[in-house]
Amino acid sequence: MNGPLITVLAGGTSAEREVSLGSGQAVALGMSFTYPTRLVVVEKDELPAGLAESGAVVYSTLHGVFGEDGGMQRLYEAAGVPFAGCAAKASELCFNKWRTRQVVSAVGVPVAPGRCFEAGNKPRAAELAQVLGDSVVLKPNRQGSSVGLQIVNTRAGLEIALGSGIRQGEWLAEKRIVGRELTVGILRGRAMGVVEISPKSGVFDYSSKYTKGLTTYTAPAALSEEVTAEVQRLAETAFAACGCRDYARADFMLSHEGGIYLLEINTLPGMKETSLLPMSARCVGLDFNALCREMVAPALERLAKAQRMSGR
């Protein structure tokens, strides 16, 4: 077993801590078949003790606030810790759904009509419906794993959601696109297989994501070659426009009319063997252990280059 130590970070302090712990355990095992690996559980919003001095390359599975919003990434960069995945600037951008929409739409990636607002300055339901219609998706602008996701289909439902379901923070309201939900993993800037997500409830919320049996996944998705290629092209375009590196996952809606709309880019997607990114990778022949190797490989290459330049 060769190469530097890989430190897998998991846990954290966000609402997605339990999801992160599962991802971390799976990745640490997958990495251990190729590299010396250790799993570190993060309990505070700070670098784990000794990480900067260990010489290890970090692979983080910290989801949610501070883990994937650029907070921890800024600490890696300040301490000179080599790490896999997006740098701090791209991480911060992609965690902000509204800013991501602005960046990708500027390069031709379609997004649903939407509006961003503070909970303390909410629009009236009638005002929002005039722009987006009565069928609206409401979600926190800076959260992952569908935390806080609400879907309303009537004016009365929209009034209730705005009145009682939104109390603090920044929120995104989008016109609901009815159709098929798709996701695609991106590795080194290239899109992998497209996966279709079919929640039995019709809504891919937190419960549908993490409760066994509530969602059916089709990998690869049963799409025409043309639609598959277009989803992959849009994913790669969005990835590049947001300054991402190494890996990410892009989520889309395919409307019944054939339109393809980006929902978001997830820079630290779930990484259990049954998670969406590994499903996408299996479509192109990468099993879980091979995927783990490929995800950390660019960070190892950057470290080797830095060492050569410094004469070490």
For the chain, state the CA radius of gyration. 20
Q: Which of 16-25, 87-96, 159-168, 218-227 has the lowest mean pLDDT?
A: 159-168
CA distance linking residue 80 with residue 284, whole number of Å: 34
d(CA 109, CA 194) in angstroms, rounded, equals: 17
Residue 86 lies in a domain: no
pLDDT exceeds 80 at position 35: yes
- For this structure, is 270 an active site residue? yes
Is-catalytic flag, 217? no
Q: Is 96 among the catalytic positions?
A: no
Same domain flag for 100 and 241: yes
**Other beta carbons within 10 Å of 254:** 21
Shared domain check, 221 and 98: yes
Q: Which of 270, 275, 282, 293 is catalytic?
A: 270
**CATH at 261:** 3.30.470.20
Q: Indicate if 234 and 105 belong to the same structural domain.
A: yes
The active-site residue out of 101, 142, 245, 249 is 249
Quick check: 245 pLDDT over 90? Answer: yes
Let me know whether 103 and 240 are in one domain.
yes
Catalytic residue among 264, 275, 280, 293: 264
Query: Are 200 and 169 in a shared domain?
Result: no
pLDDT of residue 143: 75
> Does residue 41 lie within any of the structural domains?
no
pLDDT tens per residue, range 274-296: 899 999 999 999 999 999 999 99
Domain boundaries, position 134: 114-175
Q: Are residues 106 and 218 in the same domain?
A: yes
- Indicate which CATH number applies to the domain containing 141: 3.30.1490.20
59 is catalytic: no
The residue written with tokens 């800037």 in the block is 189
Q: Are residues 233 and 164 in the same domain?
A: no
Q: Does 100 lie in the same domain as 209?
A: yes
pLDDT tens sequence across 169-207: 899 999 999 999 999 999 999 999 999 999 776 666 556
| C-alpha span between 53 and 70 (Å, rounded) | 21
Mean pLDDT of 212-238: 93
For 6-24, how does the pLDDT look when each residue is reduced to its tens digit (9 = 90+)?
999 999 998 889 999 999 9
The verdict on residue 9 lying in a domain is no
Residue 21: inside a domain:
no
Annotated active-site residue 134? The verdict is no
* Catalytic residue (choose from 54, 210, 236, 289): 210
* Same-domain status, 134 and 223: no
Q: What is the arithmetic mean of pLDDT over 303-311?
A: 84
Structural domains of the chain, count: 2
| Residue 170 maps to a domain | yes
In a domain, 271, yes or no: yes
Confidence class for position 210, pLDDT limits 50, 70, 90: low
Does residue 5 fall inside a structural domain? Answer: no
The residue out of 158, 175, 192 marking a domain boundary is 175
Among the candidates 175, 191, 208, a domain finishes at: 175
Asked which of 175, 198, 228 is the last residue of a domain, the reply is 175
In this structure, is the dihedral angle defined by the CA atoms of residues 67, 73, 74 and 76, taken in order, positive or negative? Answer: positive
Q: What is residue 79's predicted lDDT score, i.e. its pLDDT?
A: 95
* Residues 160 and 284 reside in one and the same domain: no
Same domain, 98 and 164: no
Considering the candidates 20, 96, 266, 280, report the single residue annotated as catalytic: 266
Claim to verify: residue 105 and residue 221 sit in the same structural domain:
yes
Which residue intervals of 242-287 are DSSP H helices?
276-282
**25 domain residue, yes or no:** no
Q: Are 48 and 306 in contact (CB under 8 A)?
A: no
List 251, 280, 282, 293, catalytic entry: 251
Q: Exposed/middle/buried for 221, CB within 10 Å: 0-12, 13-18, 19+?
A: buried
- Catalytic residue list contains 285: no
